[in-house]
Structure 1
Amino acid sequence: MRGTSQASLTAIREQSEAVYKAAGTNAQTLGEQLFVVVDALDSSGSLRRSLADPSRTGEDKAALIRSVLANGFDDRTISIMENVAKSRWSSDRDLVDAISLLAIDAYLSAAESRDALETVESELFVLTRALSGQREARQALSDPSTDSSIRVKLVHDLIAGRADEVTVALAARAAAAPRGERFVPALGRIGDMAATRRARKVAYVSTSRALSDTQIERLESILSAQYGQDIQLNVTVDPAVVGGMRVQIGAEVVDTTILTRLTDARRRLAS
């Protein structure tokens, strides 16, 4: 999302943050309702296009939202959606993507209000790592041809009763309504949002053997100094990493593994 849409999203997220914080744990209800709106817009091209139509006035589109959400929706949800409707979007897809992000923000804020945000972030990471060696499970959770209720049941079978309610809800949502995104990357994105909310970047580290506490602290210090902010390390032990380590922060990858160096050497020799 870029340009006009990104500017609109940034402004609305800032405006909505105060609403979520005031709502406390009830922000989760706002998130649930915003996801309902996402589903409604995904299933109605005409409504989606009407809300993104730049030729209609913001107040006209806000009135449309009020009429659609008049029954059963929290006033705070309606207010957030009015802000969405009044904003400008480069495409109707961007508008719906923005609402989905606002819903996730609401859930994470609810977790934060009870000091569970770090737990949610950690559980999302653990779940993605657990699925890394389960190809069939990953495919089932991302397969749009599989009934959504089956995908949600698989999530519940994996983590229900063993993870925070926000972790379970967001993982189930990622499985039920992927919106073109595969399950594991969707969880990774939500985990990054949680880390950002805690004012930390996430570094995904793969290494052939477990790092000591001293090594972890040193790596955190080095990366924090490099990026100018706190870094959250999510470390995975991967026997396929033959020495060295692979560090990914966002789209940036620092790969110092022996296997990668050998592959690069072979590539240069072959060229």
Structure 2
Amino acid sequence: MVSFRGASADAMAALTDQVGGVAEASASTVAGDLFSAARTLRAEAALRRVVTDQSVPVEARSGLVGDLFSGKVDGATVGLLRDAVGRRWTRPRDLADALEQLGVIAAVRSVGLQGDALVDELFSVRQLVIGNHGLRDALSDPVRSAADKGALIETLLTGKVLPTTVQLVKQALSGSYRTVVAALEDYERTAAQVQGEGVATVHVARPLAEADQRRLAAALTRQYGRPVHLNIVVDAGVIGGMKVEIGDDVIDGTVLARLDDARRKIAG
């Protein structure tokens, strides 16, 4: 997930609380508006400098944003943008990054009780891109336009996943992340975090039964002190056992890992 420091972290925390107050019915529209505003700021360096310049009066910065976006985006978005430019940012680029992150949060809120389904779908699309070289190349091809890539995503996903999943996958093509896969992974973590969950990726030799998944999720929840959403990856490299990745932690209980550990003990 994008991390912010100092003043930017404080600004992001306050704005996140505001996004939490956006009505579910308008959250998808607000998300799209915030994504658009983030793209505008990234493309317009002069505008980005002005609205993050602390020597420019807050009223002037807020008024400029109001003039630019009023009537073009949802009223709730205008309020968020006015507030955002009135705050202090550690780096000018942090503002655009924050608006994108806030857009993801708004998008997650728009699905209401389908949050778990959204996390699952983002993970599935990420795995699809990782496993399909042709698709990954098409989505990373600098020659293809953003509109062309977006049309490809709509053809592949529309009607098969939540509309919000399509919205977020298309946003992942914007180029603000190093790769589409990196963007989807970040969005996935954000979607889980909005619901108060962590995300664990579990590598196994064969699919886990639902009862086993529940037991594993319960064990990880006890260990980490919050609910944990499981992403199950059937991995040909796993002979038996499982490997669990959650945040920076890796719990490797695979057969190969145990054999390697035994070899090290024998050699030592």
Structure 1 residues 199-214: aligned runs within 5 Å: 199-214=196-211
Asked if 1:16 is matched to 2:19, the reply is yes
Structure 1 residues 10-89: aligned runs within 5 Å: 10-18=13-21, 20=22, 23-89=23-89
Q: Which of 112, 115, 118 is equivalent to 1:117?
A: 115
Q: Structure 2 CA distance, aligned partners of 1:242 and 1:202? A: 23
1:113-138, Cα deviation, whole Å (9 max, x unpaired)? xx322222221112122233212312
Q: Structure 1 CA distance, aligned partners of 2:199 and 2:191? A: 9
- Greater Cα shift, 186-195 or 209-218: 209-218
CA shift in 2, pair 1:250/1:140, >3 Å: farther
Query: Counterpart of 1:98 in 2: which secondary structure?
Result: helix
Identity across aligned pairs (percent)? 32
Query: Counterpart of 1:232 in 2: which secondary structure?
Result: strand
Over the aligned positions, Cα root-mean-square deviation in angstroms equals 2.3
TM-score (norm 1): 0.89
Asked if 1:135 is matched to 2:163, the reply is no
Q: Which 5+ residue runs of structure 1 have no aligned equivalent? A: none
Structure 1 residues 114-193: aligned runs within 5 Å: 115-175=113-173, 177-193=174-190
Q: Structure 2 CA distance, aligned partners of 1:269 and 1:3? A: 49
Q: Is the 8 A contact 1:50 1:61 kept in 2?
A: yes
Find the counterpart in structure 1 of residue 252 from structure 2. Answer: 255
Asked if 1:198 is matched to 2:195, the reply is yes
Asked if 1:106 is matched to 2:106, the reply is yes
- Greater Cα shift, 250-259 or 71-80: 250-259
Letter in 1 for 2:119: E
How far the C-alpha of 1:107 sits from its partner, in A, is 1.4
CA shift in 2, pair 1:251/1:157, >3 Å: farther
TM-score (norm 2): 0.90
Query: Counterpart of 1:73 in 2: which secondary structure?
Result: coil
Q: Structure 1 CA distance, aligned partners of 2:192 and 2:155? A: 26
The structure 1 segments of at least 4 consecutive aligned residues displaced by more than 4 Å after TM superposition are: 260-270
Letter in 1 for 2:91: S
Q: Is the 8 A contact 2:177 2:183 kept in 1?
A: no
Find the counterpart in structure 1 of residue 228 from structure 2. Answer: 231
- Greater Cα shift, 253-262 or 64-73: 253-262
How far the C-alpha of 1:17 sits from its partner, in A, is 1.3
Letter in 2 for 1:96: A
How far the C-alpha of 1:205 sits from its partner, in A, is 0.5
Q: Structure 1 CA distance, aligned partners of 2:107 and 2:118? A: 10
Q: Which 5+ residue runs of structure 2 have no aligned equivalent? A: none
